[in-house]
Structure 1
Amino acid sequence: MAFAGKYELESQENYEEFLAAIGLLNAKTDHKVITEVLQDGSGFTWTQSIPNWTWSNKFTVGQDCELTTMKGVKFTAAVTMEGGKISIPFPQYHFTAELIEDKLVMICLTPGEKSVTFRRTSRRI
């Protein structure tokens, strides 16, 4: 599955609820998020940017990788891919990403009884 490319935010659902659930409500923004994915086999560099802020992680599918949360906290997690879907267990949510009809669809699901499902769809640019 070729994720490599640049994507621009097209739509998102439950964004504010998700930010509140992970303690980042003040980070709310109306900017168009740009996601850039560099891929070399099973190795990825995944970068999200808005003006004045960039967040990037490098990882290899099938390995434990050192990653960084949106808050800048480092952690180690196993990155997997099944059925063309990347899966990463972040400390406060579970992240998946897949390509659906050339659109990058990212879903973040917070755990617990009051879980929040944040869905972001971006179009290739």
Structure 2
Amino acid sequence: MAFTGKYELESQENYEQFLEAIGLSNAKTDHKVITEVVQDGDKFTWTQSIPNWTWSNSFTVGEECELKTMTGANFRAPVVLEDGKIKINFPQYHFTAEMKDDKLIMDCTTGEKGVTFKRVSKRI
């Protein structure tokens, strides 16, 4: 499944609850989010941008990679591609991403509080 592309936020569910669950309750939630994915085989660069903030991770599927959380903390985790979904266990949540009908679907589920945040972005 090819992920390469630039995507604009179309809809999201439980974002504020998710931010609160991971300790970012003061973050603004009304931004236009742009996600850009560059894929070269198993190598990815995944970047999300809102005005005045950008968060990016580069990783290789099938390897343990050095990654960064939304708050800027570094961690190491394996990146898996299973059933067309990218899966990464961040320290506070489990991240999955997949392509459906030319849309990027991302889910983040917190472990402790069980909050699932879903974001759907359309290709631009």
- CA deviations over 1:22-54 (Å, ceiling 9, x no partner): 001111221110000000000000000001000
Q: Report if aligned partners of 2:7, 2:36 keep a CA contact under 8 Å in 1.
A: yes
Q: Report if aligned partners of 1:37, 1:47 keep a CA contact under 8 Å in 2.
A: yes
Q: Quick one: which amino acid aligns to residue 54 of structure 2? A: T
Aligned counterpart, 2:98 = 98
Aligned counterpart, 2:84 = 84
TM-score of the aligned structures, taking structure 1 as reference length: 0.98
Q: Quick one: which amino acid aligns to residue 3 of structure 1? A: F
Where has structure 1 moved over 3 Å in runs of 4 or more? none
Aligned counterpart, 2:122 = 123
Q: Report if aligned partners of 2:15, 2:29 keep a CA contact under 8 Å in 1.
A: no
Ranges in structure 2 where 5+ consecutive residues have no aligned partner:
none
TM-score of the aligned structures, taking structure 2 as reference length: 0.98
| Number of equivalenced pairs | 124
Identity %: 73
Q: How does 1:5-20 map to 2 (within 5 A)?
A: 5-20=5-20
Q: Quick one: which amino acid aligns to residue 115 of structure 1? A: G
> Following the alignment from structure 1 to structure 2, what is the Cα–Cα distance between the partners of residues 105 and 32?
16
